[in-house]
Amino acid sequence: MSELNSALHNSRFLRACRREPVDTTPIWIMRQAGRYLPEYMAVRGKVSFIELCKTPTLAAEVTLTAQRVLGVDAAILFADLLPILEPMGLQLEYAQGEGPVIHNPVREAADVDRVVEINAARLGSLDFVFETVRLVRRDLPGNIPLIGFAGAPFTLASYVIEGGGSRNYVSTKTLMYSDSGAWAALMNRLTASLIRYLNAQIDAGCQAVQLFDSWAGCLSPADYREFVLPYTKAVIAGLHSGVPVINFLTGNPALLPLCREAGGDVIGLDWRVDLADGWQTVGFDRGVQGNLDPVSLYADLPMLRRRAKAVLDAAAGRSGHIFNLGHGVLPDMNPDHVKALVKMVHEMGQRP
């Protein structure tokens, strides 16, 4: 094993993914490179969001800077969930003030035929992501892993069908309930595409990947089991062996047993569940990630410290805990509070 590979293998973050002992609890922050950081805004102010995502030198810069200024134990690739949909035939636009919009959403069974699985040739149109990975890995400290990521099949399917954000997922659920064949065809194409996409991130230099099922919390356990679990499970099973996978679903703790069944070395917990209860639910043979309420960062530092300590106490020093927020850091957050949280976790999470 080379010196670099040894340093990465024995990093706090990867040791925690494998549920091995660590000197202190590792921490990284979802949406760690974001608008709350002045260093990010200095770059973002020059280009649009999607231009930043598609310019590897700039995407690498904000990825590296966030890890360095916060002092976190892993970098998370700066990218977005949705550009994978463009080579699949979806017309994606990031509208000013509205967020992502898909101009040709899938609304009926016949529309699924327009969605094309990503093959090796189509994967090349996403090379800006893989080049960002290569640039980040080249310049990251040798003991800091890089986390790649993608949206889970259901979350991507919801964007494809709704055409953007949604409150009740009416169009998504209508297609899901009314035409199981069309739903399966769409989910199978997303699943195969995600396996190729995430494996390409790993090949380019990511040491772990996180699957974001940001919208699956709208589902009942029965619906998740029938319409979602087989596809998430297939994505995780299709990834390169030996690379830790974080399976993160937000918004519905009732789905945690099914998250475990879908797979993942680490199960992400949001703030709606007590970490001790959540870990017992998914089983102590899995790691867990989380789960401080992001709004805690608005509190004064003594209160933030108490809330961080409560999360660490719930983990009870058990190997396999990665500290994180229960979701992404908010854009108007004071960056000094985020930096303070990282120091608090490293201090209070020390093992004897």
SS (H, E, C) the chain: CCHHHHHHHCCHHHHHHCCCCCCCCCECCCCCCCCCCHHHHHHHCCCCHHHHHCCHHHHHHHHHHHHHHHCCCCEECCCCCCHHHHHHCCCEEEECCCEEEECCCCCCHHHHHHCCCCCHHHHHHHHHHHHHHHHHHHHCCCCCCEEEEEECHHHHHHHHHHCCCCCCCHHHHHHHHHCHHHHHHHHHHHHHHHHHHHHHHHHHCCCEEEEEECCHHHCCHHHHHHHCHHHHHHHHHCCCCCCCEEEEECCCHHHHHHHHHHCCCEEECCCCCCHHHHHHHHCCCCEEECCECHHHHHCCHHHHHHHHHHHHHHHCCCCCEEECECCCCCCCCCHHHHHHHHHHHHHHCCCC
Task: Please tell me whether the overall predicted TM-score, pTM, comes out greater than 0.95 for this model.
Answer: yes
Residue with tokens 């989380």: 290
Residue ranges making up the domain that contains 177: 3-348
* Residue 215, phi-psi category: left (phi > 0), alpha (psi -120 to 50), beta (remainder): alpha
CB 330 within 8 A of CB 36: yes
pLDDT at 95: 77
pLDDT at 352: 83
Q: What is the pLDDT along the chain (352 residues), one digit of tens a residue?
A: 555 588 999 999 999 999 999 999 999 999 999 999 999 999 999 999 999 999 999 999 999 999 999 999 999 999 999 999 999 999 999 877 778 999 999 999 999 999 999 999 999 999 999 999 999 999 999 999 999 999 999 999 999 999 998 889 999 999 999 999 999 999 999 999 999 999 999 999 999 999 999 999 999 999 999 999 999 999 999 999 999 999 999 999 999 999 999 999 999 999 999 999 999 999 999 999 999 999 999 999 999 999 999 999 999 999 999 999 999 999 999 999 999 999 999 999 999 8
- Please give the structure tokens belonging to residue 3: 């010196």
Active site residues: 31, 35, 44, 80, 159
Q: How many domains does the chain have?
A: 1
pLDDT at 4: 58
Using CA atoms, how far residue 144 sits from 10, 139, 288, 329, in Å, is 10, 10, 19, 21
pLDDT at 135: 98
Q: Check which CATH number belongs to the domain holding 70 and give it.
A: 3.20.20.210
